[in-house]
Chain A
């Protein structure tokens, strides 16, 4: 079949065009069957199932036959003390994480880029990526051991003459531990993407700047940082799209009833209410609220970024 053929032929109906496409590409459509089934069953069916947020779901009646109750579950969530607590905790952890955990990998990449010895650079890279491969369960147990009364951190505090702090029992310390351990684990790994962007910068730019008398700080500020900006913006949009996501996994492993006040986040609450207590409709409503806010955030940050910097996700 020649390439320009379709444009020379008279307009065909949509049905004919789809039929022809299937005929020509049928092997590809067969290859797509597992993928399409997977997404429909395991992603889109749960979206359909999320309607139980507006129903009184019971397993016996199933999704379709459970009675509609309108916004009852949303109202009871918004009226409970948990609404503001969970919202504040989830937002606080994310905002502090964006403020600290987001710029650090950029800084790390820029600093690594300035290292002359390639052996030293590679060693630091290997070592800083290492924590990424520690599983969440092991990471959280490390955090628990190190912050315990006789753990590594308190040993250092007491050897410096301070009083031991049982960090994970204290509401005021929980977020620091949570965010700090996250940075420890992901900072190196998250810098890879910026390292990749840095390696794409043309060396001639630096040479030209050097001839013009720029020092290294000026080069970093006027060449390195602007070259990284598109990558930074995309990563920032993606990060802000998760502003109401705090991993349930880490929270479930680190918190305890005495720190619920600052530790409990939307995801862990959904887990407790839904999986442990069996309040399926109510917890689905809480989860849906979370998903919708996240999605709105992503769209708005993307729009702002498109306006300001001309680069965005879509």
Chain B
């Protein structure tokens, strides 16, 4: 493009690259630090100061304790179950609704779109929603993790935009051959939208994986807790009893606690961190389709 650069521009380039490098470091280092911390000797970790570039000593005791804890695998299983049930409902409701709303011939299309959009800017609030879930008898039941968040309006709009871009002639030819709208939806519209479907599944999956507030409000029995709520007990409330460390001395508990917490974080975050770089382009695609609408 531009072959000749003035010296000023070269200085700018260098500073730019350095600046971005620093910001990238700030974003990545805490994650790296946690990994190192979780592998370190807890005694050494207590004494260290400043940055950490390699583990202090090497000790897998923290991981052993984490894997011995029953609440973490249980939380994992609960999260996976809420996620599976949630995704099934999310995808069914969202794709069907988005497909119908992508049809310009429907008279009630715009009123229903208005009904949907209005909820993006106004809500009845936390308490009326909570009372509704109480009244529906969903408390302490998996349905409370699934139905109140069945459709995300933003995802619905992404899905609808994508369906609108499919050529109507294609559907017309199926209609002439005698296919009904349901066949068109399942055999043509869905198979033609793999990328957007991936985006929407990922967005909903991340939501279910990270969500804890509904669980805190609606789940009363500990054995129903999703992973994030278990993490809150261990990481935020410092409730290490569930960890069964067998350590009574408070000071001992404190230094074990740090590496133990780091190991817990890694066990709970590693799956998403490993998967994310490969799926990055889908996540970005979602943001871009969402932006087109505006």
Contacts and interface: CB of A to CB of B under 8 A. Distances in A.
Contacts, number: 263
B251 interface: no
Contact of A29 (B21, B99, B100, B182): B100
B284 A136 contact: no
Given A28-B100, A35-B93, A274-B126, A145 B261 contact: yes
Interface string B123-134: 111111111101
Given A138-B269, A158-B49, A298-B121, A114 B93 contact: no
A155 B115 CA distance: 53
Given A32-B101, A135-B210, A291-B122, A128 B24 contact: yes
A41 B119 CA distance: 12
Contact of B124 (A25, A43, A135, A188): A43
B288 A31 contact: no
20 contacts: A21-B106, A27-B180, A35-B101, A39-B116, A44-B115, A59-B131, A111-B19, A114-B12, A127-B28, A135-B210, A135-B228, A140-B235, A145-B262, A150-B46, A156-B49, A192-B284, A193-B291, A249-B212, A252-B213, A291-B124
Interface stretch (A46-54, A79-87, A92-100, A170-178): A46-54
B131 A31 contact: no
Contact of A138 (B49, B92, B156, B265): B265
A47 B176 CA distance: 44
Nearest to A131: B27
Interface string A275-300: 10000100110011011001100100
Interface string A17-45: 11001001101110110111011011111
Q: Top 5 nearest A-B pairs by Cβ distance? A: A287-B125, A46-B124, A35-B97, A49-B128, A27-B181
A131 B26 CA distance: 10
Interface residues of B, number: 92
B16 A115 contact: yes
Interface in B224-243: 228, 231-232, 235-236
B13 A114 contact: yes
Contacts of A249: 212-213
Interface of A: 17-18, 21, 24-25, 27-29, 31-32, 34-36, 38-39, 41-50, 52, 59, 63, 108, 111-112, 114-116, 120, 123-131, 133-138, 140-142, 144-146, 150, 152, 155-156, 158-159, 184, 187-188, 192-193, 196-197, 203, 206-207, 210, 215-217, 231, 234, 241, 248-249, 252-253, 267, 270-271, 274-275, 280, 283-284, 287-288, 290-291, 294-295, 298, 313
Majority secondary structure of chain B interface residues (helix, strand, loop or mixed): helix
Contacts of B194: none
Which has the most chain A C-beta neighbours within 10 Å: B12, B116, B127, B288?
A: B127
Contacts of B12: 114, 216-217
A28 B106 contact: yes
A21 B289 CA distance: 30
A208 to B, nearest CB: 12
Contact of B134 (A59, A133, A159): A59
